[in-house]
Chains A and B, each alone.
Chain A
């Protein structure tokens, strides 16, 4: 049967083109791969090759013709044994095949896993024994417990094994688990992160320690393009069950390249889960949840918090779910929402504000993706005022996102605009006085609360 040669689409955006030149004439025999025409697209002049072998029966579009729509028949090819009369028959009906039209998509909410209503259950049963433990110890216990529980969990990173951790998080783990499962890497974030993603695809559950998240920028392509997106791109066939953890945000006097909060960056990515705990119990319970999660989890720690001690429940298997905020302090006049070290500034501010008769509710988001919108919205509906607190840059911040969400869902409840207290919009300076000015302080929070409460 004669074959119609259609005007080809030769770029992702081409809809029509110019048939610049025919390189064959009627009656010519062509092989698959022979150039038969030159076609000008929106981008370039392209050589157009025959896909089948046969004889050129008829050229339907003259060379030099402009604006030839894609899928217009431009020639008829004859197969072995056919004569030109077949070309006439084929010329009659040229049906361009087009894909079925896409139905409009109704839902347009972000791909978040939000709880339907605030979950206010306690993190551990009442009466459970608690002990004081540092965030550092809590993190180590979480990893060790999960490594005892599951042989496929392993820890890799710079100085995690023999050095016992640059910040001593993995202290003692090499002794217990050996060098097969507590692995020192060379200083090569891009490479070892990619290897860890591959190991996760291959059936393991890696914990990747970044000495700090500043260095993870070297590896961010592997985190986002490889770890976060593969489940979607593979139609759910495979993904990366793994944890990326390490110190995030400013430490003290380490300058611009070592003092950035990446919370908002990672929180933007569908396919990632993002956690930023404040207390030791949350560090432990959330890290255990992260290691068990079948998805890639970004676990943002804070160096200044490593040595802080909190109550941690003495339980065989203590976990904290993602997407459940913690209310550290109940209040009625204003809602202060924060996470990670920002919770400390919020709590310090609330303490001061109480002395002035302002009752602040302090919410610790704990996880940023999924995010517990319900608890925040319910609180704002009660207090009618909100201040967000975070150490990261002010543009496109977590606070910005919460402000938008509150505006969409609780606009009529607001008695004042939401204020975002954030780090200053500058690279972190080294000088002690300047660094202090760049960072969030409890005083900043107090000032913001006074603004929204019109005091």
Chain B
């Protein structure tokens, strides 16, 4: 596919653009594979795919430094891959196998990595928001300079605990970036049917928290906004809100027939705003890469994803004894 004429040139380096392309493509191909394995019955229960929203987490991860923390809701596969967690371990958790990050005991919605500072994987809408502020509380208490990226959706933004958290995060100047991934639908309820004021980023004003809207289909715009937010936090000025406007191409979960929006709406976003195509265009127009270069990346990503699926199928189910482990830490 040739580059579209609409894409503008960018100052981003070839290396950075390629990394964005690779990272976003990994998420998309991984999620497509997850959908496929779900269809085969290898993944059970709930499975929420991140397809369409890739630029949000990839752009923000570009602003994080070692030791920074992140957590999100149950639509979490993209966040885990973006922070460097191993695709094999994530996919094997999806299939409920011993090789998964939680040894099969968490599933799609509940994965964690102490090593990569990924704190879940939370299944209760908005429960991760105060927890994220709490991680930031710990960073401030321990004076380690860390920042926590707390992701939640436009649906979660209507939960009361979000505003309890905004109040305390501002009051105690906690180094937390609240990333509202506004994909416009809280499961099947559109934002206009659920949300009294459409600009969620303004909701920090009541607490003195600055916020701004961000084009979530443009990874460079996300990164630029993220840098500003992170600098604010690291300077000890307290929390910052980014409302990142994005779009999920798939249903809320695998069993969502998505009758609340038209096929045309989805197709329009995919064909005109796709974040991966955008970076692809930037790479081609800027002559940072040739079609062949990108094909090579595609091939490389496909290999990683296929390997993760093979690993996830081959990994054994957890030992029955695992039923009784990890309930309590040893005293």
Interface 9-residue window, one of B56-64, B104-112, B282-290:
B104-112
A61 within 8 A of B: no
In chain A, what residue has the closest Cβ to B330? A294
B114 within 8 A of A: yes
In chain A, what residue has the closest Cβ to B176? A198
User: Is there contact, CB below 8 Å, between A99 and B317?
Assistant: yes
- Closest Cβ of chain A: how far from B310's Cβ, in Å? 11
Interface 9-residue window, one of B12-20, B121-129, B219-227, B229-237:
B121-129
- Annotate B81-108 by CB proximity to A: 1 below 8 A, 0 otherwise: 0000000000000011000111111100
Interface 9-residue window, one of B2-10, B189-197, B239-247, B320-328:
B320-328
In chain A, what residue has the closest Cβ to B250? A49
Which chain B residues (49-86) contact chain A, with CB distance < 8 Å? 69
User: Is there contact, CB below 8 Å, between B114 and A202?
Assistant: no
- Annotate A7-51 by CB proximity to B: 1 below 8 A, 0 otherwise: 111111010000000000000000011010000010111110101
One of A8, A235, A294 near B39 (C-beta < 8 A) = A8
Residues from chain A with Cβ under 8 Å of B331 in the complex: 292-294
User: Is there contact, CB below 8 Å, between B134 and A201?
Assistant: yes
A202 to B168, CA, bound (A): 17
A113 within 8 A of B: yes
User: Is there contact, CB below 8 Å, between B130 and A193?
Assistant: yes
- Closest Cβ of chain A: how far from B308's Cβ, in Å? 15
User: Is there contact, CB below 8 Å, between A233 and B255?
Assistant: no
A294 to B331, CA, bound (A): 6
| Interface of A, helix, strand, loop or mixed by DSSP | loop
B142 within 8 A of A: yes
User: Is there contact, CB below 8 Å, between B141 and A102?
Assistant: no
B132 within 8 A of A: yes
A9 to B40, CA, bound (A): 6
User: Is there contact, CB below 8 Å, between A199 and B135?
Assistant: yes
Residues from chain B with Cβ under 8 Å of A12 in the complex: 44-46, 255
B202 within 8 A of A: no
Count chain B residues whose beta carbon lies closer than 8 angstroms to a beta carbon of A. 75
In chain A, what residue has the closest Cβ to B270? A33
Residues from chain B with Cβ under 8 Å of A202 in the complex: 69, 134-139, 142
A235 to B111, CA, bound (A): 9
User: Is there contact, CB below 8 Å, between B317 and A233?
Assistant: no
A180 within 8 A of B: yes
User: Is there contact, CB below 8 Å, between B131 and A192?
Assistant: no
In chain A, what residue has the closest Cβ to B110? A233
One of B41, B263, B330 near A9 (C-beta < 8 A) = B41
User: Is there contact, CB below 8 Å, between B257 and A198?
Assistant: no
A273 to B329, CA, bound (A): 11
A241 within 8 A of B: yes
Give 6 new A-B contacts, CB below 8 A, not counting A194-B165, A237-B114: A188-B164, A190-B161, A194-B131, A222-B127, A235-B103, A236-B326
Which residues of A pack against B, CB within 8 Å? 6-12, 14, 32-33, 35, 41, 43-47, 49, 51, 70-71, 96-100, 102-107, 111, 113, 152, 154, 180, 185-186, 188, 190-204, 221-222, 225-226, 230-239, 241, 270-271, 273, 292-295
Q: List 25 A-B contacts (CB under 8 A).
A: A11-B254, A14-B255, A32-B32, A49-B35, A99-B42, A99-B96, A111-B324, A191-B168, A194-B164, A195-B131, A195-B165, A198-B119, A198-B131, A198-B135, A202-B142, A221-B124, A222-B127, A225-B124, A231-B328, A234-B102, A234-B112, A235-B106, A235-B326, A294-B329, A294-B330
